[in-house]
Amino acid sequence: MIQEEDQVGGGSVPTQLLATYAVAVTPKHGSVDALEAAMRLRDRPVIGRIAHDRYLLDARTLREDEFACIVQALSETAL
């Protein structure tokens, strides 16, 4: 977990930032772009963003009932 700033409305108001926390993942092998694409292309897509050469999942957008699915997706997709 890292402290992060995110744009309001997915970037529709780029000058307004929200303080947040994010799960930050750095792939052991492969690129962060490949990890992001693989997560997005899953049967149940996991949508994150790339910043600071890491794949980020914003904690304010995650629901507790999704945690197990996200962990499974990351372990199956780990590059």
Q: Checking DSSP bridges between strand 13-25 and strand 2-8, what pairing results, if any? A: antiparallel
Q: CA–CA separation, 25 vs 14, rounded Å?
A: 24
Q: Output the domain CATH number for residue 71.
A: 3.90.1150.180
Number of domains in the chain: 1
pLDDT of residue 5: 84
| Cβ-contact 36, 50 below 8 angstroms | yes
Residue 6: pLDDT over 90:
no
15-65 per-position pLDDT tens digit: 788 888 999 999 988 899 999 999 999 999 999 999 999 999 999 889 999
pLDDT at residue number 79:
60
The predicted model gives 63-68 an average pLDDT of 93
What is the extent of the structural domain holding 15? 2-77
